[in-house]
Amino acid sequence: MTVTAGVDLGSTYAKIVVLKDGVNVGYAVLPTGHDHDETSKKGLELALKAAKLDRKDIDYIVSTGYGRNITTLANETISEISANAWGTRHIALKYGIRTIVDIGGQDTKVIALDDNLNVADFRMNDKCAAGTGRFLEVLAKTMVVPLQDMGPLSLRSTKKVEITVTCLVFAKSEVSNLMTQGYAKEDIIAGIHRAIAKRLATMARKVGVRREVFFDGGPARNVGMRKALEDELGVPLIIAEMPQIVTATGAALIAENRLKKDKRTL
């Protein structure tokens, strides 16, 4: 039996996945909080509890994400680009994914895979909050709308409202002004989704959009965001059952691969 763990320590959420012989047997998703290392340890405990395993059962841990160098759990760190590609190949192998769109808490990524499903190119926005999970969270609070309600609400939109800026500071002001002018919340939210989708589509076209397209990260659970991105890219999207844990799954798979390589060299 081989047990590995992947820790995706993001700026807003920590995602931990435990694999037993390559099969997901437990995971945890929890807010990162102020102490990233402590959060990763708590998340691992929760994932192990779900897997009915103990800490001593784990053979190797790989960390990735914003705080990958902060956690003291990991035997090794890896970039989120590599981890995301590994996770996508594993979770959606049967679909023949060629393009990955990932929205994280503080960054967005578009990854192009070659015909061997290796990373061929990528674009990453980690310089500002535009188009990120944080962007959605802040604007949801600005509108006093629960984050989980944004998707369903946006599907009820009947009037097209354009959000003309993607800088978070100016977007908050623009959204507040639109609300003051009497625009319906569902129309504003749909406009927010379209603005993010346009930004992501621009990134995607720089690396080349090839079907099939995989959409992951927490915002992939947002049905309105999914629809806006599908409309902008002009292709249907493939979504994992748990899109938040794709990158953590990839980290755990890389951990398993490291063990296999070590055994071959003995």
- First-to-last alpha carbon distance for the chain, in angstroms, is 18
Q: How many CB atoms lie within 10 A of CB 121?
A: 12
**DSSP assignment of 189-233, as one string?**
HHHHHHHHHHHHHHHHHHH---SSEEEESGGGG-HHHHHHHHHHH
Show the tokens assigned to 16.
């931990």
Taking 70 as the threshold, does the pLDDT of residue 266 lie above it? no
Tens of pLDDT along 73-115? 999 999 999 999 999 999 998 898 999 999 998 889 999 999 9
Q: What residue type is 71 in one-letter code?
A: T
**Residues shown for the chain:** 266
| Summary mean pLDDT of the chain | 93
Distance of CA 151 to the CA centre of its chain: 16
Residue type for position 176 = S
Please name every residue paired with 121 in a beta bridge, in sequence order, or none if there are none: 112
pLDDT (0 to 100) of residue 126: 67
∠ CA 162-163-169 to the nearest 5 degrees? 170
The residue ranges of every structural domain in the chain are 1-92+244-266, 93-239
Rounded Cα–Cα distance for residues 135 and 192 (Å) = 9
Domains 1-92+244-266 and 93-239 are alike in CATH topology: yes
Topology annotation, domain 1-92+244-266: Nucleotidyltransferase; domain 5 (3.30.420)
The CATH topology of domain 93-239 is Nucleotidyltransferase; domain 5 (3.30.420)
For residue 239, pLDDT beyond 80? yes
DSSP three-state, residue 173: helix
The rounded radius of gyration (Å) of the Cα atoms in the chain is 19
Task: For 21-43, write each residue's pLDDT tens digit.
Answer: 999 999 999 999 899 999 999 99
Name the phi and psi angles at 252, rounded to 5: -65, -35
Nearest to 232 by CA among 190, 175, 189: 190
Give the pLDDT band (50/70/90) at residue 127.
low
